[in-house]
Structure 1
Amino acid sequence: MAAPKTGRPTMIDVAADAGVSLKTVSRVVNEVPTVDPSLAARVRVSIAKLGFRRNEVAASLRAGGETRTIGLITADLSNAFYSTLSSEVARIARNHGFQVIIASSEEDPELEQATALDLCQRRVSGLIIIAASDDHTYLTPEIERGIPAVFIDRPAQGIEADSFLIDNFGGTADAVRRLVAKGHTRIGFVFDSNSIYTMRERKRGALHALAEAGIAEEPELLVIGSHAPPQAAEAVRTMVRREEPPTAIVCGNNRSLIGALVALAELPNNEGEAIEVIGFDDFEFSPLVPRPISLIAYDTGALGSLAATRLFERIHGDTSPAEHHFEETTLIERGRRSPA
């Protein structure tokens, strides 16, 4: 006895079940009006019976059309910032009748390039990229073939392309200025890798504000390369064990903030709450943090919406010069305050 067939049913299967030719099935599937009604009815019965579904992508490509997909390359899917961006990009894509293929570079420039070129090979209509690479000239042939690319969070390097960025420098500088105004002179900093554009800009903003106030940079209070919460927690543990610990800590993103809060919560007698904390990026549960914190916030959804809208303008033929948008930041209060 032959094993039951598995996998997605094809037009060949439909033709065999209906007892008609493959060409007849193709004409019914493509809604050619001249097919004999009785044959068309048999084909439709077999389609329903077998659960056949037309391959819209293949059909579109055969007709010289588009796949009605766009590619979105994020940098780290474990970061809530990217899920918010992705959700908004997907919403705009749906409004245009498109689907989004989402991939992650994991902050690896080579993986970013391989993924972007693979998506182009899959005939996406456009790309949205959160850049890990510092050289995007590899995209030049694809852009010349008509696949536009828009960059979020980090600008393109080596090519001219639309970019939608956050005011990383200004937001961090303003946060440090506020700490200085409150009397803080020993401020700790916990940032991700210096290879990441946003981290370089946030570090630059922080050091600019310190210099502006006449406060010397203290290397032992500046930690670079804390990619995940455990690394950030260990960096903060080291800081607070120093003879002169920081009185305030600025975290380069929400994941560094989580690690810092874990380390500060370990200190006895609520000593950690005496250290002021500022993070970059608001997040859904920030009001529930069991201590006061401040956050450098901005409209993440707007960033995704603006970038996706711009990509579809490019897909539909807009050839105007590249647009560069900076999303403003604001300092907000989050976490629970102790009762008076």
Structure 2
Amino acid sequence: MAASEAAVPTLRDVGALAKVSTMTASRALRGDPKVSAQTTARVRAAAAELGYRRNELARGLRLGRTSGMVGLVVTNLANPFYSQLALGVEAVAAGRGMKVVVSNTADRVEQEREIVDDLAARRVDGIIVVPAGAEQGHLAPAHLNDIPVVLAARPPVGITADCALLDDFGGAREATTRLVADGHQRIGFLGPPAAWTSAERLRGFRTVLEDAGIALDNALISCEQRDIATAEQAASDMLDHADPPTAFFCANSRNTMGVCRAVKRRGLHTAVFGFDDFEMADMLDMQLRIVTYDPEALGRQAAEQLFHRLDEKRSAPLKGAAMTKAILPTSIVDYTPALPTAD
């Protein structure tokens, strides 16, 4: 039989090789002090020879425990935002002696549904989800054997759940306010397709222009770009307009980078204001400001909310405890190079 087809070694196999009972083998691998050192060494050597690994999940379920793991479900693992968010979740989980299982939905609701159902079947203690869309019925704890669920970066829709959010509206409003204060009347907006975060950032942008009495020009609003290349093309199209923008506001880092490419290729001095910091932003030598925040802090916040629910669950709380919504602040960093001074 090929190695790949070989049966997975069992505890019974370990006991047989070590010439002890299955029960003694189990006790030896648990480090039971009642088992002699010689027998324990023999059992462990047999386990190593066979490649035996204890099934902690199955053992925990037999003892009425959960898995000792929490799930983290995100929409795009290629986005540095989510790797930083995962680090925040892991930091809190590690402090509780728990592991984190990270899964990617590629922004597809159907894939998200399959992932959370699988995590629930594996008896994870709780799940943190960055929802892929407004269809969220499958994330309700009642659908997942009452496993606590916390949403991150996007709020609950049609379900009751704790959530940890960024101040997307406030950050965009502050950025646009600064552009208007600088005298810009023609401001291009670029963002990804209709994610909640992008919609909130567009709402902040629109609010400032409307309050300032600046007419909205739909030719300067584009929300279809998922990557740098399409963002660069969208910005180039706007710059080709008969009355081009004098500034851009971008709803995420990929759109910001695409706009920066378009502006620099043309040798322009168009101001750029982005949302989401990114590496090397300070090296672009152009008018660039960024709405920034701490994605690790967002992950830590979501994890703290989840473990708070787990603590409540263990202490048998009353049903209907109020859900919490945490909103983390944003700040602004200016990467615009200083003007040279005369000697």
Question: Do these two structures clear the TM 0.5 threshold for a shared fold by scoring above it?
Answer: yes
- Structure 2: 5+ residue runs without aligned partners? none
| Percentage of matched positions with identical amino acids | 36
Report whether the alignment pairs 1:299 with 2:300. no
Q: Which runs of 5+ in 1 are unaligned?
A: none
Deviates more, 1:139-148 or 1:274-283: 139-148
The Cα of 1:124 is off from its aligned counterpart by: 0.8
Q: Deviations over 1:104-139 (max 9, x none)?
A: 121112221221111111111101011112132223
Task: Provide closer, same or farther for how the CA distance between residues 17 and 301 of structure 1 changes in structure 2, counting only shifts above 3 A.
Answer: same
Residue 155 of structure 1, CA deviation: 0.5
How much does 1:35 deviate? 4.5
Q: Residues of 2 paired with 1:53 and 1:290: CA distance? A: 55
Q: How does 1:28-47 map to 2 (within 5 A)?
A: 28-32=28-32, 34-35=34-35, 39-47=39-47
Give the equivalent residue in structure 2 for 1:115.
115
Cα distance, 1:233 vs structure 2: 0.9
2:28 is paired with a residue whose SS is helix
Q: Aligned equivalents of 2:290 and 2:15: distance in 1?
A: 62
1:230 aligns with 2:229: yes
2: CA distance, partners of 1:317 / 1:110? 30
Contact 1:79 1:255 in 2 (8 A): no
The letter for the 2-side match of 1:260 is V
* Structure 1, 75-84 or 183-192: larger mean CA deviation: 75-84
**In the alignment, which residue of structure 1 is the partner of 2:84?**
84
On the 8 A contact 2:189/2:222 being kept in 1, the answer is yes
Matched ranges for 1:147-296 at <5 A:
147-194=147-194, 196-267=195-266, 270-271=267-268, 274-296=269-291
3-state SS in 2 of match to 1:316: helix
Using structure 2 for the length normalisation, give the TM-score: 0.90
Shift of 1:3: 5.7
Flag the 1:115–1:44 CA change in 2: closer, same or farther, 3 A.
closer
Shift of 1:34: 4.7
In the alignment, which residue of structure 2 is the partner of 1:317? 312
How far, CA to CA, are the matches of 1:87 and 1:128 in structure 2? Answer: 13
Conservation of the 8 A alpha-carbon contact between 1:236 and 1:263: yes
RMSD after superposition: 2.2
- In 2, are the aligned partners of 1:286 and 1:335 still within 8 Å (CA)? no
Alpha-carbon distance in 2 for matches of 1:126, 1:219? 43
Aligned residue-pair number? 334
Kindly provide the amino acid, as one letter, of the partner of residue 74 in structure 1: V
Q: Could you say if the C-alpha distance between residues 230 and 41 of structure 1 is closer, same or farther in structure 2, counting changes exceeding 3 Å?
A: same
Query: CA offset at residue 31 of structure 1?
Result: 4.1
Secondary structure of 1:325's match?
A: strand
SS at match of 1:76: coil
Q: Is the 8 A contact 2:11 2:22 kept in 1?
A: yes
